[in-house]
Chain A
Amino acid sequence: MTEATTSPNASAGKKAPTPRPWQIGRYALLIALAAVVVVTAIGNPRFLSTNNLLNILFQISTLGVVAAGQTMLLVSGGLDLSVGANLSVAGLAAALTILATGSTSLGVLAGLVAGTLIGCANGLLVASNRANPFIITLGTMTFLQGVAVVISGGSPVNGAGALFDLFGLGSTFGIPNPAYVFAAALAATWFVLSRVMLGRYAYAIGGNEEATRLSGVPVARVKVGLYALNGLIVGIAAVLLTGILDSALPNMGIGYELRAIAAVVIGGTPLSGGRGSVLGTLGGVLLLGLVSNSMNLLGVGANYQSAVLGLIITAAVLLQKRT
C-alpha cells in the first residue's frame, strides 16, 4: 500500500528572515570604528577637528601601504613577517644612496629596488620550500634586521633631502602627501586583486592550492610574483617613511609586520586566505590609527596603551569570526 501524503502548508517561495549573527559580524568593524570616534569626540572635541583628522591620515599612511601589500599575501594563504625588517633595509638603502649621491631620485630607486629584491627572495624561498611561510619569513626577518644594523653601523642615517619636503612637510590640496601614496597603494592592490590574473590566482591558491595546481596554474611562479610585488610595495613604504622621518634607522620598521597583519585580519581577511579585500584592510588600518590617536588625545597613560590596543584588536577579530 502506498501512503502518499503531502505537507499541509503549500508554501512554495516563502522566504525565511536573514539570521542576525551574520549581520553583526559583517558590521563589527564599522561598529568598532564608530565607537572609537564617538568616545574620543566626547572626551576631546578636538579629535574631530580637520587638523586632527588630517594628522591621523598622515600617521596611518605608512602602515596602510604595508598593510595593502600584506593583504595580497594573506589572500593567497601566505604571509611575510619580514616586511618590517625589509622596510628598515630599504629605507636605509634609500637614505644611504641620497647621502652618497645627493640624488633623491636615485635614493627612491634604491629603496624600491631593495624592497622588491628582498620580496623576490622571500618569494623564492616560500615557493620552493614546503615549510610554512611564517617560519621562513621569520628567518629572513632576523637576517634582515642584522643587515640593517650592519649597513647603518647601528646609527640613524640622517637627511632625506627633497623626500622630507615632499612627505614630511608637504601637502596637496590641504591633504598630507603620504595620504596620496596610501590611497595609490590601496587602489593598486585593489586592482590587482580584483582585475588582474595574478590577483585571481592569489584567491585561488589561498582557497585551494592543490586544485589550483591541478588547473595548470603555475603556483610557484605566482607566489614569487606576489611576494615580489609585496616587496615593491614595502619599498614604497620605506621611501615614504624615510621622507617623513627625514632619516632612516635600522629599527624603523620594527612592529610594522605585526600591525599590518593585524590590520588585514581585522579587516576581514582570514589568515587561511581565499577571501578578503583591501577595503577591509582600510578599515583595519583606520581602526588601529584611530585608537592610537584617540588614546593620546584622551591622555591614556602610557602603561595602558598597549593593553587597550591589544584588547581592541582581539575584540575586532573575534567579532569578525562570527560571519
Chain B
Amino acid sequence: MATGLPETVPAAAIEARAISKAYEGTLALDVVDFSVAAGEVHGLVGKNGAGKSTLLRILAGAARPDSGEIRIGDVRAVALNPITAQRAGVAVVYQNAELHLNLSVAANIFLGSELRTRLRLVDNAAIEREASALLARLGLTLPVAATLGDLDIAHRQQVAIAKAVRANARVLLLDEPTAALNKSQTDFLFRLIRSLAADGIAVVYISHHLDEVLAIADRITVLRNGRRVGVVTAGSVSKADLVEMIAGHGVSEVSERRRRSGKREPMLSLRSVSLPGYLDDVSLDVAAGEIVGLTGLTGAGARTLASVAAGVTAAQGAITLGGAPFAPRSVHEAIARGVSFVAEDMRQRGLVMAMSAAANMTLARLGAVARRGVINLGRERAEAVRLGHFLDLTPRDPSRAAMTLSGGNQRKVLIGRAVFADARVLVLEEPTQGVDIEARRQIHDRLRQLADRGAAIIFVSTDLEELIELADRIVILDEGRVEREFDPEGLAPEVLLAAIQAGGPDERRRD
C-alpha cells in the first residue's frame, strides 16, 4: 500500500550521496545516491551483485565508501563505524541476525546498554520489566525470560527489531527480513514495520521478493551493476516494470514446461516412516525424473522428511532405493549410493568458504579425479569448468574461492557437488532462498534438466511460486503427517497457501 508522498521529499533521515566502493578491483557501487525520509518505508531491490549488500553495509557503518558521503539526519557522518552508526541512530537487522542465542530475550534487547542498580550491578529485574513494556508497545508477545536459542527465526528477528527500537534507532535497515518467515509471520512483520514508520522511523527494506516490496514500501530504489537505475513510488509501478529495471530486459517468470511423469517405478520409496516428535507414519514415493516439493508450516515435518529421505537422519520405517533397502550408516555411504543432500545453510553445512569453487564441487567424490590418492588438478579443473557451464556459474573461473561468489552462485556450486557425485536422488532445502531472479531461474532449469536425465529430486520450500513452478507434485505436511497433495498445474498460490495454512496451530516443534 503506497502512501501518497509529495514529490519534493523533506530532509532525509539517512542519505547517501555519490557513494562509490570497489572490492579487489571491481566497482561494487558506482556513484550511487540513496535517500530515505523519516517515516518512510523504502525498498531496495536488485540482482545479486547489484550492490544492495554493499550499500547496506556502508549505511550501517560496516564498510567505508571509497568516495561520497553519508548524511544521517542531515548531519554529515564522519568516519562511520558500526558503533558510531548505532549511536547516530542507525540499526541493522542482518539476514543472519547477530544475536546471542544463549542469553534471554530481555538480555539481548539490552545488550550493551544494560540498566544498572545503584551499585553498578546489572539490574535484571528492571531489564525484564522494560523489555516487557517495550515488546507490548510494539505489539509483540514474547516471553522476556525465554532463551533466544529456543525461539524460532521469526521471533528472533522480532527481538532484533525490538533491540533496535530500544536503542532509539531513527533508521532501521532490514536485509531479506522475510527469508525465513511464513505468510502469517510476514504479515505480522509488515504491521510492525508500518507502526514503526508511523512513529517516524525510516525503514530500508531489502528483498528479492518483489511482491512484498511492492506491498510494504512507499518508494523503491533499483540498483543494477552497482548503479542506481531508478527511484519509483510503489503505487506507480508493476512487478513486471521492476523486473525489467532490475534485469535490464524482460525476464519470463515461468520456467520451461515440465515433463509430466506418468506412473513409473519409484526410485526412492519411504514406507511408514516415523520419528517420534517429528514424523508420524509417512509414506512417499519419488520416481526417476520426478520433482517433488515438500512444504508445510514451520515444524510440520517437511525438513525432517527431506533429511530422512537423504539418509542424513535416521528414522523408523522402511526406505528403499532402487528396490534395495536404504539405511546408510554414514553420509559417505548415502553419497556412494547416489543420494546427495544440499542443505539450506551454506555457510555452516554446505561450502568450505576458503576453498575454490572447483574444490568444493569435487569434494564429495574426490576420488573420481584422483589416481592412487593423487589428485589430477588438470582434470579437476576441466570437470569444474564443465559443471560451471552447465550451472551457468558466474564468474566462470572455478578457481575463485567460494566466499567470493554471490548467494545464488554458491547454491549452484553445492548443486554442482551433488551432480559431480553422480547423484541419482537429490534432496534440497530451500534451493533458491536469498537468490536473485536470474540465478533462481537458472537453478530451476538445471534441476529440471537433471530430472529429465533421470534423477529423482525432492526439495523443501516455503516459497509458493517456487513450489508451483518447479515441482511435479506438491506434498503438504502437517504435524508430521502427509496432509495433502497437489498437482501444481494451474494452481493459484493463494489456494496452495490456504491449504498449507489450514494445518494445525504453530507448534513449538523443531523441523
**A216/B373 in contact, CB under 8 A:** no
**A3/B349 in contact, CB under 8 A:** no
Separation of A113 and B17 alpha carbons in the complex (Å):
68
Which candidate, A12-20, A123-131, A162-170, A251-259, is the interface stretch facing chain B?
Answer: A12-20
Known: A11-B30, A204-B363. A215 touches B335 (CB 8 A): yes
A residues 1-48 with Cβ under 8 Å of B? 1-9, 11-12, 14-16, 18
In the complex, whether B24 has a CB less than 8 A from a CB of chain A is yes
Known: A213-B331, A216-B334, A217-B363. A6 touches B25 (CB 8 A): no
**B332/A216 in contact, CB under 8 A:** yes
**B349/A203 in contact, CB under 8 A:** no
Separation of A16 and B366 alpha carbons in the complex (Å):
38
Query: B345: shortest Cβ distance to chain A, in Å?
Result: 9
In the complex, whether B205 has a CB less than 8 A from a CB of chain A is no
Chain B residues lying within 8 Å of A215, measured Cβ to Cβ, are: 331, 335, 363-364, 417
Known: A216-B330, A216-B332, A216-B364. A211 touches B375 (CB 8 A): no
Chain A residues lying within 8 Å of B228, measured Cβ to Cβ, are: 5-7
Count B-side interface residues using an 8 Å CB cutoff: 54
Chain B residues lying within 8 Å of A198, measured Cβ to Cβ, are: 373
Query: A79: shortest Cβ distance to chain B, in Å?
Result: 18
**From A207, A213, A216, A218, contact of B354 by CB (8 A):** A207
Query: Does more than half of chain B's interface fall in helix, strand or loop, or is it mixed?
Result: mixed
Most interface-central of B24, B25, B245, B331 (chain A CB within 10 A): B331
Which candidate, B229-237, B315-323, B479-487, is the interface stretch facing chain A?
Answer: B229-237
Chain A residue, CB-CB nearest to B363: A215
In the complex, whether B351 has a CB less than 8 A from a CB of chain A is yes
Separation of A213 and B341 alpha carbons in the complex (Å):
12
A residues 137-178 with Cβ under 8 Å of B? none
Known: A195-B375, A200-B359, A214-B343. A207 touches B352 (CB 8 A): yes
Query: B253: shortest Cβ distance to chain A, in Å?
Result: 21
Known: A11-B27, A15-B25, A16-B25. A214 touches B366 (CB 8 A): no
In the complex, whether B336 has a CB less than 8 A from a CB of chain A is yes
Separation of A212 and B359 alpha carbons in the complex (Å):
11
**B27/A211 in contact, CB under 8 A:** no
Chain A residues lying within 8 Å of B367, measured Cβ to Cβ, are: 197
Query: A153: shortest Cβ distance to chain B, in Å?
Result: 42
In the complex, whether B154 has a CB less than 8 A from a CB of chain A is no
Query: A11: shortest Cβ distance to chain B, in Å?
Result: 6
**A5/B375 in contact, CB under 8 A:** no
**From B22, B237, B330, B351, contact of A16 by CB (8 A):** B22
**A216/B331 in contact, CB under 8 A:** yes
Chain B residue, CB-CB nearest to A274: B354
A-B contact count (CB 8 A): 122
Chain A residues lying within 8 Å of B33, measured Cβ to Cβ, are: 7
Chain A residues lying within 8 Å of B348, measured Cβ to Cβ, are: 208, 210-211
**A208/B230 in contact, CB under 8 A:** no
In the complex, whether B355 has a CB less than 8 A from a CB of chain A is yes
**A212/B363 in contact, CB under 8 A:** yes
Known: A5-B230, A216-B332, A216-B336. A203 touches B352 (CB 8 A): yes
In the complex, whether B26 has a CB less than 8 A from a CB of chain A is yes
Chain B residues lying within 8 Å of A9, measured Cβ to Cβ, are: 30-31
Separation of A51 and B172 alpha carbons in the complex (Å):
68
Separation of A212 and B294 alpha carbons in the complex (Å):
26
In the complex, whether B377 has a CB less than 8 A from a CB of chain A is yes
Query: Does more than half of chain A's interface fall in helix, strand or loop, or is it mixed?
Result: loop
B residues 236-254 with Cβ under 8 Å of A? 236-237, 241, 245
Chain A residues lying within 8 Å of B331, measured Cβ to Cβ, are: 213-216
In the complex, whether B66 has a CB less than 8 A from a CB of chain A is yes
Question: Interface size bucket, A side?
Answer: 35 or more
In the complex, whether A196 has a CB less than 8 A from a CB of chain B is yes
**A196/B355 in contact, CB under 8 A:** no
Chain B residues lying within 8 Å of A217, measured Cβ to Cβ, are: 332, 363-364, 366
**A6/B227 in contact, CB under 8 A:** yes
Separation of A105 and B302 alpha carbons in the complex (Å):
63
Query: A74: shortest Cβ distance to chain B, in Å?
Result: 14
**B352/A1 in contact, CB under 8 A:** no
**A4/B230 in contact, CB under 8 A:** yes
**A3/B231 in contact, CB under 8 A:** yes
Chain A residue, CB-CB nearest to B18: A7
**From A18, A197, A207, contact of B353 by CB (8 A):** A207
**A2/B236 in contact, CB under 8 A:** yes
In the complex, whether B497 has a CB less than 8 A from a CB of chain A is no
Separation of A161 and B157 alpha carbons in the complex (Å):
71
Known: A2-B236, A216-B364. A200 touches B352 (CB 8 A): no
Chain A residue, CB-CB nearest to B241: A2
Most interface-central of A3, A11, A211 (chain B CB within 10 A): A211
Chain A residues lying within 8 Å of B324, measured Cβ to Cβ, are: none
A residues 210-256 with Cβ under 8 Å of B? 210-218
In the complex, whether B77 has a CB less than 8 A from a CB of chain A is no
Most interface-central of B227, B229, B352 (chain A CB within 10 A): B352
Known: A11-B27, A215-B363, A275-B354. A1 touches B236 (CB 8 A): yes
In the complex, whether B493 has a CB less than 8 A from a CB of chain A is no
**A218/B22 in contact, CB under 8 A:** no
In the complex, whether B350 has a CB less than 8 A from a CB of chain A is yes
Known: A2-B237, A8-B31, A14-B27. A204 touches B230 (CB 8 A): no
Separation of A3 and B330 alpha carbons in the complex (Å):
57
Chain A residue, CB-CB nearest to B350: A211
**A216/B359 in contact, CB under 8 A:** no
Known: A5-B231, A204-B359, A210-B349. A197 touches B27 (CB 8 A): no
- Beyond the given pairs A2-B232, A195-B377, 8 more chain A to chain B contacts, judged by CB atoms under 8 angstroms and listed by A's residue number, are A1-B7, A196-B373, A204-B352, A207-B353, A208-B352, A208-B353, A211-B352, A216-B336
- 23 inter-chain pairs at a CB distance below 8 angstroms, sorted by A residue, are A2-B230, A5-B231, A12-B225, A15-B22, A15-B25, A16-B66, A195-B374, A196-B373, A196-B374, A197-B373, A200-B359, A204-B363, A207-B354, A207-B355, A208-B351, A211-B348, A211-B350, A214-B343, A215-B335, A215-B364, A216-B332, A274-B352, A275-B354
Give B contacts to A, CB under 8 Å: 7, 22, 24-27, 30-33, 66, 225, 227-233, 236-237, 241, 245, 312, 330-336, 341, 343, 348-355, 359, 363-367, 370, 373-375, 377, 417, 421
Give A contacts to B, CB under 8 Å: 1-9, 11-12, 14-16, 18, 195-198, 200-201, 203-204, 207-208, 210-218, 274-275
Closest 9 CB pairs of A and B: A16-B22, A207-B352, A216-B335, A216-B332, A215-B364, A4-B230, A208-B352, A215-B363, A274-B354
